[in-house]
Chain A
Amino acid sequence: MLMLSLGTLGAVLWRAEGPGALNGADWSAVRFTLGQAVLSSVLSVALAVPVARALARRRFRGRGLLITLLGAPFILPVIVAVLGLLAVFGRSGLISSMLAPLGLGPIDIYGLEGVVLAHVFFNLPLATRLVLQGWLAIPSEQFRLAAALNFTPRDVARTLEWPMLRSVLPGALLVIFLICMTSFAVALTLGGGPGATTVELAIYQAFRFEFDLGRAALLSLVQFGLSGVAALLAFAIAVPGVFGAGLDRPLTRWDRDSAVRRIMDGLWIVLAALFLIVPLGMVVLHGAAGLPHLPGTVYWAALRSLAVALGSAGLTLALALPMALAAVRLGGGRGAALQAAGTLSIAASPLVMGTGLFIMLFPLADPMRLALPVTALVNAAMSLPFALRALTPAVAEAEAGFGRLADSLGMTGMARLRLMLLPRLRRPLGFTLGLSAALSMGDLGVIALFADPGHATLPLQLYGLMGAYRMQDAAGAALLLLMLSLGLFWIFDRGGRAHADA
């Protein structure tokens, strides 16, 4: 893991031009990267607060389903979501066609608006889950006490809710800021041009179109510096876990309710649900027509993607399991440091890693031929923080419960792993495999740097179809990609749950 992050950085350093070589376009890319990340994270979190509050205090049919759905964008391929958003907000999308009879021109979301829109689409659900966790963590006895003291809603907000938000919001903002800073595929598909290029997109362009490795390396350093500062911030602010459990329980409250409040809550929930569901519905609707007529190249790309996804899932496990075991065995400070090292790659940039690997591989072999293995490796590194967060507590629990028994029976090495740990880790292992496979399946990052059209994965192929305005094929491919990603996650996660006894 260290090899992967520091080794690639070393390679990048070696090839980078001096910092004086940064031109005006590069600085504007830095400004755009930071600007869109700030805007996206603030908007996501600001909108998440009313939605989470409504979800926390209302009960309705489908509430559990909606909350589960809020977890889905995480494993949703970016390019599929972009296609769905374009079908709703694009020039020939739903909203534009509704505006046309009113004499209003079609809306255009390419540029900053589109990048922020897509980031909010992905991160509003995440922010909502994080804030909802905070709401549900307030003991219901506190609300009972507030009711007994005849608090007004304003009093409840001041004494109970605002302090909770103050502790939850910084972490949520930071996580989303980090995600938006390194999200390449959104910028690739919806950004571009002088006014809307992120640093990662600039790396890609220097690499792909100008074939200027020195500049790509220099920009990688800039991206690494940005991520590094953000990662240092992450140490200061507790970053919350992305997957909280137990969000199904609605909050019991006794403070006074009103019709206006009920209507507002309902409105927020309906709007958030529509914002999530309509774009995906459009993907399914348009895709169903295109799916039966997909060209053979799309199926080949799908097969390559499946191979990459499965390879990446295996690699993730091969990296994460030893790290989790070591973190638990070392315990205390050193174990925590190991876990932090793994978590840091949430701030790492796949494009930086890709550039570094390219520079390292170039003298040895043709990097284009290694596009698929490199993609699997970088995807695995990106899944690592989530894998560690799922596995480490489960390993600790297994050792706490059965470690002494295994010790007393002399179970060491492989026997201990096979007979004691793996059976007790089935659920987190299934979840980890499913998550990493789905993330890799939908990834449009490193592969864009390396692959030629003959070795494209499904997301890259889909990007190519969009670029060629073959929209029916693109819609069909998007539906295929959506089904494969969700299907991979479902199969592995399900496999971990089946006969998981005691």
Chain B
Amino acid sequence: MLTLEDVRIEQGAFRLAADFQIPAGAIVALLGASGAGKSTLLDVIAGFLAPKSGRVLWQGQDLTPLAPGARPLSVLFQDNNLFAHLTAAQNVGLGLRPDLRLTADQKARVEGALTRVGLGGLGARRPAALSGGQRGRVALARMLLRGRPLMLLDEPFAALGPALKADMLALVADLARETGATVLMVTHDPADARAIADQTVLVADGVAHAPRATAALLADPPPALRAYLG
């Protein structure tokens, strides 16, 4: 269970408050207008930004003092998810060892992860020689190997076309189900939330609201969400 315990974020004039829990294994969307603070909240959970006050806990363990790489989570950013100078296999291998000193067995696991996301045999390619969707798959393969229980997605597929984005989200949902991971994904598109998220956190007016069932929330939107949806 991920717990945001009375978290308060301040960045200049920007303020955001969050105080809720997300059950383990859930797929949760963070929905809101751009500038509402969705990515900022993700940064706090991932450890790139310290909250003004409050704590972030995973299964009761306080994450606040931990460095980003030491937290039980993996992140996909909006861009720059792969090192351009490393091959796809090396990028995936970083999920096993950050210094890339892999054993033969670990190399086999890298190839297995690439095959699982549909990129078998493409391990030697550099990101520049892969399509946008394939790059997303490489990043997901790395996430799979890291095996951290929490997956944070900061709209990594926003630049893809609608069909490709739907494929990638379906792959995320599959991987999450296989590994039992909890997923928190930022989106500004209600269709994304509807596609794979059983629950949705509405971020608006300086508050990240407690998660609600996505279908119910979108069927009967509160005023802030209604204003956003138009």
Contact = CB atoms under 8 A, between A and B. Distances in A.
B98 A407 contact: no
B85 A423 contact: yes
Contacts of A405: 77, 80-81, 83
B84 A501 contact: yes
B217 to A, nearest CB: 29
A410 B148 CA distance: 13
B80 A401 contact: yes
Interface string B102-134: 000000000000000000000000111000000
A501 B87 CA distance: 11
Contacts of A410: 67-70, 98
A418 interface: yes
A299 to B, nearest CB: 40
A407 B48 CA distance: 9
Contact of B69 (A401, A402, A412, A418): A412
A36 B129 CA distance: 57
A177 B99 CA distance: 48
A258 interface: no
Contacts of B37: none
A412 B85 contact: no
A357 B205 CA distance: 65
Contacts of B199: none
Contacts of B98: 409-412, 415-416, 419
A433 B214 CA distance: 58
A408 B99 CA distance: 14
Interface string A407-430: 111111011101110011000000
A329 interface: no
B95 A409 contact: yes
A419 B94 contact: yes
Nearest to B71: A408
B86 interface: yes
Nearest to A499: B85
Contacts of B126: 501-502
A208 interface: no
A409 B67 contact: no
Central interface residue in B46, B47, B83, B84, by most chain A CB within 10 Å = B83
A12 to B, nearest CB: 45
Given A419-B100, A502-B127, 14 more contacts: A401-B80, A404-B77, A404-B80, A407-B69, A408-B74, A409-B69, A410-B68, A415-B99, A415-B100, A419-B86, A420-B83, A501-B84, A501-B85, A501-B126
19 contacts: A401-B80, A404-B48, A404-B75, A404-B80, A405-B80, A407-B48, A407-B69, A408-B68, A409-B146, A410-B68, A411-B99, A412-B98, A416-B98, A419-B94, A419-B100, A423-B83, A501-B84, A501-B85, A502-B84
